[in-house]
């Protein structure tokens, strides 16, 4: 027996609920079945006679379209909504399978380096990635190994040149950051610097004393050469 309108509405309401990672084939098959049931219930698309006038009801007269003629709206809407539901579910499942969209900050860029952050004792502290764009470089850094500094202090990321030495720095700052309240640093910085000319990336702990020169307290580094 073909499903009536109420049953189709119930099916569509269920199908358009939150995505729950059910196998895509099961969800799509369910919605396609609803479309087939709608077509089977009214293959002509002319409704169930509610408010419609057939030839026998008016002595062979044909009712003018739009004025008591065949009301296609309800059944057609149900079939159309089911088709839309198939698209919505398929799109949502595809999104979940692909994962989150690409970071717009680095879309279309070229990855120049992607390496581990190394602490003073050689331990791995996290990861850092550099992406070259038309406007310069984007540096993305992640670590949950850095201490939360006292108020007013911060960490600073530097691109360091081969001639850098105490008292005669050869480095360019890429920016500063703080870990969050859980000690996680997941940040994105921009820098107009070429890592081929400054082939070392260093993170320092800065005292926040207003002095722009780098602190000697180095907490992590990456050799980009």
Asked if residues 191 and 159 have their Cβ atoms less than 8 Å apart, the reply is: yes
Q: Are strands 124-133 and 136-143 parallel, antiparallel or unpaired?
A: antiparallel
Number of other CB atoms surrounding residue 9 within 10 Å = 14
The Cα–Cα gap between 118 and 196 comes to 20
The span from the first CA to the last CA of the chain, in angstroms, equals 72
Q: Given this model, what pLDDT does residue 66 score?
A: 40
- pLDDT (tens, 9 = 90+) of the chain, 225 residues, equals 445 555 655 665 565 554 444 445 565 566 667 667 766 665 555 555 444 444 444 444 443 434 444 445 555 544 554 444 444 334 343 333 333 344 555 567 899 999 999 999 999 999 999 999 987 899 999 999 999 999 999 999 999 999 999 889 999 999 999 999 999 999 999 998 999 999 999 999 999 999 999 999 999 999 997
- R_g over Cα of the chain: 32
Q: Which has the closest alpha carbon to 83: 36, 40, 43?
A: 36
Q: What is the pTM of this model?
A: 0.55
Contact 37, 9 (CB under 8 A): no
Alpha-carbon distance 85 to 12, whole Å? 7
Task: For tokens 């269920």, name the residue.
Answer: 14
pLDDT at 163: 95
Distance of alpha carbon 136 from alpha carbon 181, whole angstroms:
30
Task: Write out pLDDT tens, residues 151-167.
Answer: 999 999 999 999 999 88
The tokens describing 53, both together, are 């006038």
The candidate with the shortest Cα–Cα distance to 203, out of 220, 188, 185, 225, is 220
């Amino acid at each position: 027996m073909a499903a009536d309108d109420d049953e189709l509405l119930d099916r569509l309401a269920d199908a358009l609920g939150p995505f729950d990672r059910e196998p895509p084939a099961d969800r799509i098959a369910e919605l396609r079945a609803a479309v087939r049931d709608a077509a089977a219930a009214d293959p002509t698309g002319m409704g169930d006679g509610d408010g419609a006038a057939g030839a026998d009801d008016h002595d062979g007269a044909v009712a003018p379209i739009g004025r008591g003629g065949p009301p296609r709206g309800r059944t057609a809407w149900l079939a159309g909504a089911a088709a839309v539901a198939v698209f919505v579910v398929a799109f949502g499942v595809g999104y979940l399978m692909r994962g989150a969209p690409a970071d717009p900050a680095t879309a279309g860029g070229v990855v120049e380096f992607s390496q581990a952050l190394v602490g003073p004792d050689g331990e791995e502290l996290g990861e850092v990635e550099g992406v070259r764009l038309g406007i310069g470089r984007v540096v993305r850094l992640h670590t949950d190994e850095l201490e939360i500094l006292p108020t007013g202090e911060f960490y600073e990321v530097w691109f360091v040149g081969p001639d850098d030495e105490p008292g005669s720095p050869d480095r360019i700052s890429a920016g500063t950051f703080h870990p969050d309240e859980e000690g996680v640093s997941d940040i994105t910085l921009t820098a107009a610097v070429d890592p081929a000319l400054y082939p070392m990336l260093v993170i320092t702990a800065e005292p926040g004393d207003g002095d722009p020169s780098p602190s000697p307290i180095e907490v992590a580094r990456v050799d980009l050469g």
